[in-house]
Amino acid sequence: MLTLGLSGGLSFAHEEMYDIPQSFTHDGAAVLVEGGEVVAGIEEERLNRIKHSNKFPMESIRFCLARRGVDIDRVDRIAFYASEEYCNALLARVRLLTGGALPRIDARTLLAAKLGQGFGRPIDRDKIVFVPHHQAHAASTYLLSGFDDSLIVAIDGSGDFLSGLVAVGSGDRIDVLSTMPESKSLGNFYVAVINLLGYGVFDEYKVMGLAPYGDPARYRAQMSALYTLLPGGDYEVYRDRVGALAQVIEVRRKGGPFTQQHRDVAASLQEALEAIALHVLRHQREATGKARLCLAGGVAHNCTMNGKILYSGLFERVFVQPAAHDAGCALGAALYTNLAAGALTSRRRLEHVFWGSDVGGDAEIGRELAGWSRFVRSERAADLPGRVADVIAGGAAVGWAQGGSEFGPRALGHRSILADPRPAANKDLVNAMVKKREAYRPFAPAVLAEDAREFFELPPGEGEFPFMIFVLKVREDKRSVLGATTHVDGTARVQTVSQRSNPRFYGLLKAFKDRTGVPVLLNTSFNNNVEPIVDSAHDVVTSFLTTGLHYLAIGDYFVEKRPWTWEDLATLALEIPRHVRVDQIRRFVAMDRAASVFELRNTYDAGARASVSPDVGEALMRADGARSIGELLAEAGAGEPARMQKAVLEIEGLWSQRLVSLRPREA
């Protein structure tokens, strides 16, 4: 049985018609499952380049079908990641918010219409299946855990009017024991508090990284007033009391400096989350007798909490779905649908998540690089792992792109930025060159699986951690060795790498170990601070050229930058991404003067916007993806060299912010 699982919103990338705020529909994805095997899976953000995309996952759907070599008509079921009742309620809300401007339509009809619009023909609406949100989360973790018997807990912000569930898995059955209403949402509780720290939805992981710098005791009393642990593993959270905390701390504005108060609040919040989670799990462990645990839902991306659960000894084995967020619901919805139909033919333990786009073969990569010959020099390396290991050991930061892209939020050695984990200064180096993120945030180590126990304190019975989803203790005598990847509290978010599931990355780690004696690399996602993780060869080269990375390894090619001029940039074709629009508006620019202003803005919730100069605005209005920057500026009347240079450099800045796309005209 061939089932297509979907998550995400109901507007195409260029539309805003049915845009439900990203806090409701986010992390769009498509996953194609045949029997119990994942054929293909990719998050929409990797293709439409919108972080946490709340758009309809049309590009992901096309990718999955192309990977299998089938048309949409060959798919037996199309599984959506929420109940039909919930989807209809959200559509009614959107219609209400637009003052009834949108037509009255139900979710099944709208989904069929969107698919029909995308494929240019009617889609059988009876093929559409709605899977309750948290049951999709539960299926995504239990059915890929390799366990025959397990407690299952899914906890997140919200979905289907709930914020979690507790279930048990036995063989091919998943039985729900209880659900958690939205009022008990641990995800929303966490966000309510981090609002005081200048953060919001999708920033939770940042506060997790800030917490070890603080003292949880300082605000423990105030934080304890925000929740109550009840008998039977129950609890209450009081988001309406969070304002009281604002009376005793200085609320941080986004982008503002951090004080010790903020660090201490983060520590107290993290402690509270762990206390509530362990309270629930202790009761359920005793009540069900289950010795194994499967976790999913957005809160399960709190790797520090996962580590505490692992070290608690409550469970013999713990499996956390690596795509625990809503993209994983596309996977879970497909698996659940096949399970319900009796068509789940296997339940093997998940070994890898390299289900996305292949970065390309030598010929494809060679063509891409040839188009950028003004900007890069490249060669096929006879021993690429050895070459890369040499430059990393020499202090370089390297972009590494190989094979199929990862499904989920972590770069696991197929779309990674890599550096030497030993010098503590490399943390700041990678941050300054590429990430431009908060200095306190840690980088993760990737380690050869057979050497992991030498460097990290692994619980008995747990030897492999391939998905970077647990924070583990670094052995005390290794903390100074791993200066760039050991966090302030002596922990690290570890990825173990085996030859079986990740052979090329394993070979690189082995080569680095041969040269340095250390079987570890600093591994972070290959992207800058405004874009999703790179996917295609074009994304890879773009990110390489617009960051401070020293070298790039893509396929078998070793790549370095050439110095380039603004005249070289002017030869590139200029294109507006589908999710960006150019507005020309007339507004006051001073108390007594109005003027025409050009503005770029995204078409999605909370999108960025940027004002641009008239010369650049005129060029953008003419951009078609075929003509060069120089041609467009000349046509706009900005052909004089000094004027053109200024405009080209402004466009280069927009390129770095991913508000425009540039590519060689020959490509």
Q: What is the DSSP string of 252-290?
A: PPTTPPP-HHHHHHHHHHHHHHHHHHHHHHHHHHHHH--
Count Cα neighbours of 511 within 13 Å in the Cβ-side half-sphere: 17
pLDDT of residue 87: 94
Sheet strand arrangement including 520-525: 376-380, 557-561, 551-554, 398-401, 415-419, 520-525, 444-448, 495-497
The CATH number of 2-81+84-130, from 3.30.420.40, 3.40.1790.10, 3.40.50.970, 3.40.190.10, is: 3.30.420.40
Give yes or no for residue 605 having a pLDDT over 60: no
Report the distance separating Cα 561 and Cα 538, nearest Å: 15
What would the mean pLDDT of 68-74 be, rounded to a whole number?
A: 98
pLDDT of residue 11: 80
Q: Supply 270's token pair.
A: 């993290």
- By the 10 Å C-beta count (0-12 exposed, 13-18 middle, 19+ buried), 570 is classed as buried
The answer to which of 92-101, 156-165, 358-367, 415-424 has the lowest mean pLDDT is 92-101
What is the percent of the chain with per-residue pLDDT over 70, rounded to a whole number? 97
pTM over 0.85: yes
Give yes or no for residue 267 having a pLDDT over 80: yes
Give yes or no for residue 47 having a pLDDT over 70: yes
Of residues 609 and 631, more confidently modeled: 631
For every residue of 187-250, DSSP letters joined together read HHHHHHHHGGGT--TT-HHHHHHHGGGS-TTTTHHHHHTTEEEEGGGEEEE-GGGHHHHHTTS-
Which stretches within 345-440 are classed as H helix? 362-371, 384-393, 425-430
Report the distance separating Cα 527 and Cα 531, nearest Å: 6
Report the distance separating Cα 117 and Cα 120, nearest Å: 5
The answer to which of 184-188, 233-237, 462-466, 503-507 has the lowest mean pLDDT is 462-466
Q: Considering just the CA atoms, what is the radius of gyration of the chain in Å?
A: 25
Q: DSSP class of residue 404?
A: B
Give yes or no for residue 15 having a pLDDT over 80: no
Q: Please tell me whether residue 112 adopts helix, strand or coil conformation.
A: helix
Report the distance separating Cα 123 and Cα 404, nearest Å: 30
- The CATH topology of domain 143-323 is Nucleotidyltransferase; domain 5 (3.30.420)
Q: DSSP class of residue 22?
A: T
pLDDT of residue 607: 60
| Strand segments (E) across 8-66 | 29-34, 37-43
| CATH 3.90.870.20 domain range(s) in the chain | 362-561
- By the 10 Å C-beta count (0-12 exposed, 13-18 middle, 19+ buried), 358 is classed as middle
Q: Taking a C-beta distance cutoff of 8 angstroms, is the pair 388, 515 a contact? A: no
The CATH superfamily holding the domain 362-561 is Carbamoyltransferase, C-terminal domain (3.90.870.20)
- Please state, rounded to an integer, the average pLDDT across all residues of the chain: 95
Residue with tokens 């996952």: 57
Can you say whether the dihedral through the CA atoms of 605, 607, 609, 615 is positive or negative? negative
Residues 6+ apart with CB under 8 A from 395: 420, 423, 426
| CATH 3.30.420.40 domain range(s) in the chain | 2-81+84-130, 143-323
What would the mean pLDDT of 278-294 be, rounded to a whole number?
A: 99
Q: Please tell me whether residue 444 adopts helix, strand or coil conformation.
A: strand
pLDDT of residue 439: 86
Query: How many angstroms separate the Cα of 309 from the Cα of each of 43, 140, 214, 486?
Result: 28, 20, 21, 20
What would the mean pLDDT of 77-97 be, rounded to a whole number?
A: 92
Residue 222's pLDDT band (boundaries 50, 70, 90)? very high
Residue 25's pLDDT band (boundaries 50, 70, 90)? confident
Residue 22's pLDDT band (boundaries 50, 70, 90)? very low
pLDDT of residue 461: 82
pLDDT of residue 395: 98
What would the mean pLDDT of 627-649 be, rounded to a whole number?
A: 98
Describe the chain by its helix, strand, coil percentages, rounded to 5. 40, 25, 40
What would the mean pLDDT of 545-563 be, rounded to a whole number?
A: 98
What is the percent of the chain with per-residue pLDDT over 90, rounded to a whole number? 87
